[in-house]
Copies of this chain bind each other. A is one copy, B any other.
């Protein structure tokens, strides 16, 4: 027997009946967990053996995404301390994958860019990850993808959602 203390939504159509049961929610939680693991595994495997890790990938992703963003922009997006980010950024700069230029509007700032080799690595990582997402999108169909995005956006916290929308908004203007 299913858990009798669960919390079915009353008075809805049959297709909605199980929509918000604890059972259903827990299924979503576990699916999220397994999917996220697969999602991060592809770039992780490529990085395996190189002197870089997931943190380097994330930094490069957002630098590729918004070339010229400042260190504080990146700190804000990634939500880590500057000491954590700095450790990552330092090796990327030293190895010539990322370039840092004195800020245009404010010379205290440093604007970050990928070098050619940095861009090449970022592309390789990001293409591995995109391949998985693209395959999942194809398999699930446009309707499902729309739902996927809706749920993800509703799940973000305020700060994350703000950053996400901000990033998307700027894209549209380009």
- Selected A-B contacts with CB under 8 Å, 5 pairs: A16-B142, A31-B156, A37-B157, A38-B156, A136-B152
Number of interface residues of A (CB under 8 A): 64
* A129 close to B29 (CB less than 8 A): yes
Q: Is A82 an interface residue (CB 8 A)?
A: no
Per-residue B-contact encoding for A126-154, CB less than 8 Å = 1, 0 else: 10011011111111111111111111111
Can you add 20 more A-B contacts, CB < 8 Å, to A38-B157, A147-B147, A147-B148? A19-B137, A19-B145, A20-B138, A25-B130, A26-B126, A29-B126, A33-B58, A34-B152, A34-B156, A34-B164, A37-B156, A38-B156, A135-B154, A143-B143, A143-B147, A144-B146, A144-B151, A145-B147, A147-B151, A148-B152
